[in-house]
Amino acid sequence: MPALGSTVVRYERLTSTNDKARELAASGASEGTAIIADEQSAGRGRQGRTWSSPAGDGLYLSIVLRPDVTPADATVLTLAAAVAVAETLAIDFGITTDIKWPNDVLASHRKICGILLESAIEGAELQFVVLGIGLNLNQHGFEGGLAEVATSMLLESGQRVAVDDVTGPLFQRLERWYRAALAQTDKVFSRWEQLSSYARGRAVRIDGPNGVVEGVTDGLAPSGALKLRLASGETREIVAGEVSLRKE
């Protein structure tokens, strides 16, 4: 089976690399096909948010995946991608990272990378998955509210980084952790917990589809959900929501 990034299609400008990847996947693009844009006019993140995508300042990447898993089991892929990005930044570029569940990669407590997994499902069958990665490379700063919550590789390391400097090691790590996600799910969960300060013992507030819940994190469930110990002693598995730290 082709390695991730074995075929790379580049564009100067797209509305969204995920949109283009979905289009190519629906037309039969092989697994591992990667789409990179210099700029996105309508980049998006989780929960319908926009993703700032100015030319030259970021890596805007989407990859076509065709895993032989159920739609429910595909959630591990987003955790695997977060591990791959966090390792690349830490090991290859010396940037200390953290992962906020499920897949926000942080540096200096600010978001440096967002990951968006989108699936195409027909009946009960998973047709393909598009893995989107937006990584801040060369921003000198951020405007407005983003200044408090976003950072870049330049801000963290003091060095400008070219897209091709990142994609080489990133594709290798994505390949490794994608294959692990398909065959050794527990290995992905274990590594994610090692890399995330949010995994255990953190007092958090989660704003989810059914309202707000607060508790202390207690690792990942076998499904990849975040386990939360409530004040009542109950353990709840969180499958969706926005996590934020709270004071004890």
Q: What is the pLDDT along the chain (248 residues), one digit of tens a residue?
A: 679 999 999 999 898 899 999 999 999 999 999 999 998 776 555 445 555 566 678 999 999 999 999 888 888 999 999 999 999 999 999 999 999 999 999 999 999 999 999 999 888 889 999 999 999 999 988 877 787 899 999 999 999 999 999 999 999 999 999 999 999 999 999 999 999 999 999 999 999 888 899 999 999 999 999 999 999 999 999 998 999 998 65
List every span in the chain annotated with CATH 2.30.30.100.
200-245
The DSSP code for 102 is T
Q: How many CB atoms lie within 10 A of CB 172?
A: 17
Residue written as token pair 């037309």: 27
SS3 152: coil
CA proximity to 239, closest of 155, 8, 213: 213
The pLDDT, as a whole number, for residue 246 is 84
Helices (H) and strands (E) in the chain, counts: 7, 12
One CATH from 3.40.630.30, 1.10.3720.10, 2.30.30.100, 1.10.287.1080 for 200-245: 2.30.30.100
How do 104-107 and 98-100 pair as beta strands?
Answer: antiparallel
List every span in the chain annotated with CATH 3.30.930.10.
7-195
Q: Look up the pTM and report it.
A: 0.92
Average pLDDT, the chain: 91
Amino acid code (one letter) for 169: P
> Which CATH fold topology does 7-195 show?
BirA Bifunctional Protein; domain 2 (3.30.930)
